[in-house]
Structure 1
Amino acid sequence: MSFLRACFVAFLACVAVYEPCVRAWSKEGHAMTCKIAQDLLEPEARHAVQMLLPDYAKGDLSSLCVWPDQVRHWYKYRWTSPLHFIDTPDQACNFKYQRDCHDPKGVKDMCVAGAIRNFTEQLSHYHHGSSDRRYNMTEALLFLAHFMGDIHQPMHVGFTSDQGGNAVELRWFRHKSNLHHVWDREIILTAAADYYGKDINLLQQHIQGNFTHGIWSSDLATWRKCSHISSCVNKYAAESLEMACKWGYKGVESGDTLSDDYFNSRLPVVMKRIAQGGVRLAMILNRVLAGDSLEMDETLAAT
């Protein structure tokens, strides 16, 4: 193990025990997305992922899928904070989706869609081996895995004016929350408690069953279809915006109490978005880690 890789492994080990203030999906949502993806990896991609993960992860990608949330406010990684979402104007529900992909300083591609393109491009250099030292492939893998979860969480493409629902304060059953957190974690944990004995693994197995032999099995080919990474990530973001408008914001105002009606009608949406994120992450990893190309923008520059 090289000195630089050993340093990075030690750094990951340190931040793995850090408890962040802010999450996207929840740690459970990101873990399910990554477990679904890893189960769908083909042998070449599976081997590459295991080679890129630090030894203490024991080959489990899901154990580090929350890492980008844990470091986003650290000085070294502060630049990644805008990469977890896309700013969307409030009127977007009434018009064709237009991506506003830049950071507060106006730097282009500094949003979750741009990040997915960027880290996919970086991972496409995996087969160049150690001679290509422009990129940290382990970081690229972890960022890509995480951001594929983020772009499928509808409120991460929510409105700029309310910070993707973070400023919409309400009650989830009997406790205080906000609309963003409801979609990040409340729905997932309520489902786990009510239907799966608080066992997230059982919830994940149910989600997987829905696309392996259940209600989404006929949709798999469509979910996996992608020839150009830019158009694909824009499609994923547009889907999330549609879900945010139709299911996230609809009928919700600050101060409301959300309970059974909201939970029961939104749970299938959350489960499907986790499934789609996992299936599509596997599709990207299977292709780029096997040396197949996902057409990139010629002007795409790696960070």
Structure 2
Amino acid sequence: MKFLRSLALLMLLVFVSPITVRGWGVDGHFITCKIAQGRLSQKAVDAVNHLLPDYAEGDLASLCSWPDHVKFRYHWSSPLHYIDTPDNLCTYQYRRDCKDEDGVMGRCVAGAIRNYTTQLLEYGKQESQYNLTEALLFLSHFMGDIHQPLHVGFTTDRGGNTIEVHWFTRKAVLHHVWDDSIIETEEERFYESNVENLINAIETNITNVWADQVQTWENCSRNQKTCPNIYATEGIKAACDWAYKGVTNGSVLEDEYFQSRLPIVNWRLAQGGVRLAANLNRIFG
């Protein structure tokens, strides 16, 4: 059974091509999942290793971008990567905002996190109606997505995807700046273009600079396994306070924007990783 699951996932990965994504880019998802891996309980490590296909060799981070690559095949999954909120209100409400373009409730990243958490709670039962390997990969990816501020953005500009800017001398859209450009520039300037060095720096901040915040990040209200409404509410606030602020079509974003927004990006990556680990630890006991 595990061989067949591994083969099916491998075939999906072989026949995909890069597509436009909403949420962190490849490095952002890798960072989030790598941080989470280092914080898993032994029970969670065992469950994750059992669910991952063999070729992943126990490395969850290596497959955390998989849900972006299969959107062309799983068309139904595209709306699950983001939340569109009313322009300029800078608030999120589940019943108002968590729906797709056809108005189907629950079809947003917050609803997806709830759904795949519920599916994974069937782990260990003799039979499950769900593909728990896919549930693990979707949940891990969406926990990263919901922490990218523009992933909970405004409806009209599609989370910054229609706001054209210059990132230093290169043309980009604002959403891509937050997906990739800030992280890539940070890696180039400070970490010799090595994502592992950046991960080490963020993990150091988790145990030092942000140590007094970590327990709050990990906690969930009313004994729930996951709290995506909290993550989404933080996301739209960060989008308004930092991502959108001072930016219009044609803006040139250079050092001032980069240096002031960089701490927010690293903070959200850290929160996503810590919370993913906490969620998986609660799920797998």
Normalising by the residue count of structure 2, what TM-score does the alignment of the two structures yield?
A: 0.95
Alignment of 1:86-105 (within 5 A): 86-93=83-90, 96-99=91-94, 100-105=97-102
Question: What is the root-mean-square deviation in Å for CA atoms of aligned residues?
Answer: 1.6
Q: Which runs of 5+ in 1 are unaligned?
A: 291-303
Inter-partner Cα distance in structure 2 for 1:6 and 1:277: 26
Query: How many matched pairs?
Result: 282
- 8 Å CA contact 2:150–2:175 kept in 1: the answer is yes
**Aligned letter for 2:192?**
G
> What amino acid maps onto 2:284 in structure 1?
L
Partner of 1:298: none
State the shift of 1:34 in Å.
Answer: 0.2
Partners of 1:70 and 1:22 in 2: CA distance: 9
Superposed displacement of residue 73, structure 1: 1.8
Using the TM superposition, give the Cα deviation of residue 104 of structure 1 relative to its aligned residue in structure 2, in angstroms.
1.2
After superposition, residues 76-115 of structure 1 pair within 5 angstroms as: 77-93=74-90, 96-99=91-94, 100-115=97-112
Partner of 2:14: 14
What is the identity percentage for the equivalent residue pairs of Structure 1 and Structure 2? 54
1:144 aligned residue (128, 133, 139)? 139
Q: Deviations over 1:82-111 (max 9, x none)?
A: 000001001322xx5323011111111000
Q: Is the CA contact (8 Å cut-off) linking 2:146 and 2:235 kept in structure 1? A: yes
Match of 2:65?
A: 66
Name the CA shift for 1:27/1:2 in 2 (closer, same or farther; >3 Å).
closer
Match of 1:161 in 2: 156
Q: Is the 8 A contact 2:153 2:160 kept in 1?
A: yes
Match among 218, 229, 232 for residue 234 of structure 1: 229
* SS in structure 1 at match of 2:181: helix
Q: Is the 8 A contact 1:24 1:69 kept in 2?
A: no
Deviations 1:176-216 (A, max 9, x none): 0011001000000000001111111111110010011x210
Q: CA deviation at 1:3?
A: 7.0
Q: Is contact 1:49–1:59 with CA below 8 Å preserved after alignment?
A: yes
Aligned partner of residue 171 in structure 1, secondary structure: strand
Structure 1 residue aligned with 2:30: 31
Structure 1: 4+ residue segments shifted above 3 A:
1-4, 227-231
- The Cα of 1:7 is off from its aligned counterpart by 4.3
**Which letter maps to 2:210?**
W
CA deviation after TM superposition for structure 1 residue 6, in Å: 4.8
Question: Helix, strand or coil: the match of 1:91?
Answer: coil
Counting only pairs closer than 5 Å after superposition, residues 1-303 of structure 1 correspond to structure 2 as 1=1, 4-15=4-15, 18-74=17-73, 77-93=74-90, 96-99=91-94, 100-129=97-126, 131-132=127-128, 134-212=129-207, 214-228=208-222, 229=224, 232-290=227-285
Mapped to 2, the partners of 1:248 and 1:176 lie a distance apart of 17
- Structure 2: any 5+ residue segments left out of the alignment? none
Report the Cα offset of residue 4 of structure 1: 4.6
Contact 2:225/2:279 (8 A) holds in 1 = no
Residue type matched to 2:219 in 1? K
Q: CA deviation at 1:222?
A: 0.4
Q: Structure 2 CA distance, aligned partners of 1:37 and 1:215?
A: 18
Where 2:125 maps in the other structure, the secondary structure is helix
For the structure 1 residues 189 and 123, does the alpha-carbon distance in structure 2 shift closer, same or farther, using more than 3 Å as the test?
A: same
